[in-house]
Amino acid sequence: MKTSCSTLIGFLLLLTTVAFAQERPYFVTYSHEMEEPGNLDIEMFNAVGQPPGANLFLGSNVEFEYGVKAWWTSEFYLDGQSTQNDSTIFTGFRWENRIRPLMREHWINPVVYVEFEDTSADKALREVVGHDGVPDFQQRNAEARLDKEREMELKLILGSNYRGWNISENIISEKNLSNEPWEFGYAWAVSRPLRLAASAHKCNFCAERFQSGVEMYGGLGDRYSFGTSRTSHYIGPTVNWTAANGTTLSFSPQFGLNDFSILHLYRFGISYEIEQFLSYFHRGGDR
């Protein structure tokens, strides 16, 4: 067990040192912007929190996001978590595809998101649906792992860009492939670079390299109990910084809005984009 824990931590730390990219400063919300075709984005996102009556946890996922076409992005996730006074475990994987049905930019741009996930004891909080809340974090890992979640998730992503602002809304539905009802959730976020025009000189800490905004997300119950009763909701400011070499660091303190939510969450991420990834494998490819 100790070996697998240290392997997981070592793997995550290694990725932290090499992984970077330019992204919106969102942790849960997807924008309509797709990965550029041929680019591979390696990302690591983390959530730290301490639910009442439970141990401090760190939920993480490593993501490999590839632009298959200009209108199609595919992404593979590996999830893990570490809980104080408990254990560090690999919690599963996810595979998602995003397809943009409209080929041009409009006032509101829809993207269809389809995901399959096979996880258990997940604490990465990549989305909140149904009646997800504090009780899910109070179980010990050994117990939580018994609850396998093989789920199909569908999202309608709506995004707009207006005068430098990005406004994104996600409508989420999720179905456990065992006999459980459809669950629903939402996420929205707004962000803007601190300056819209780029500087004439190369710089790492110019205002246009920082983006800030607000993100909010939560559950909306399930098919039989739709609404906000016994659901958790979070909101928080969010910021990121993109270095000239493509390194992006993101951070967001987030606040639970009711007793069913974890009071404080701290989210941070790092990403790196490898441009034209497959060209590294072509003979005579332009590296």
Partner 1 sequence: MRRAGLMLLIFMVLLPAWRANAAADGAWMASVPAKDHERTNPYQGQADAVSAGQNIFEEHCAKCHGANAEGTKKRPPLKSERVQQQATPGDLHWLLVNGNMKKGMPSWAKLPDPQIWQVISFLKSMHE
Query: What distance in Å separates the CA atoms of residue 66 and residue 76, rounded to the nearest whole number?
Result: 9
To partner 1, the closest distance from the beta carbon of 34 in angstroms equals 6
Question: Rule CB under 8 A: is residue 105 a binding residue for partner 1?
Answer: yes
Nearer residue to partner 1 within complex by CB, 119 or 242: 242
Question: Rule CB under 8 A: is residue 99 a binding residue for partner 1?
Answer: yes
Q: What is the 3-state secondary structure (H, E, C) of 160-217?
A: EEECCEEEEEEEEEEEECCCCCCEEEEEEEEEEECCCCCCCCCCCCCHHHEEEEEEEE
Residues forming a β-bridge with 199: none
User: Contact, 268 vs 250, CB < 8 A?
Assistant: yes
Task: Please tell me the number of Cα atoms within 13 Å of 186 on its side-chain side.
Answer: 13
Residue 130 DSSP class: B
Find the binder of partner 1 among 201, 205, 281, 283 (CB under 8 A).
201
To partner 1, the closest distance from the beta carbon of 101 in angstroms equals 5
Taking contact as CB under 8 A, which single stretch among the options 36-44, 50-58, 220-228, 230-238 is the one that binds partner 1?
A: 36-44
Find the binder of partner 1 among 50, 171, 208, 255 (CB under 8 A).
208
Question: Rule CB under 8 A: is residue 56 a binding residue for partner 1?
Answer: no
To partner 1, the closest distance from the beta carbon of 275 in angstroms equals 4
Find the binder of partner 1 among 6, 14, 36, 56 (CB under 8 A).
36
Q: At 161, list the tokens.
A: 């860009």
**Nearest of 215, 128, 133, 132 to residue 172 by alpha carbon:** 128
Nearer residue to partner 1 within complex by CB, 52 or 282: 282
Question: Rule CB under 8 A: is residue 181 a binding residue for partner 1?
Answer: no
Q: 157-176: which residues touch partner 1 (CB under 8 A)?
A: 161, 163-164, 166
Find the binder of partner 1 among 2, 104, 224, 229 (CB under 8 A).
104
Find the binder of partner 1 among 14, 112, 177, 263 (CB under 8 A).
112
- Match 């075709």 to its residue by tokens: 37
User: Contact, 276 vs 247, CB < 8 A?
Assistant: no
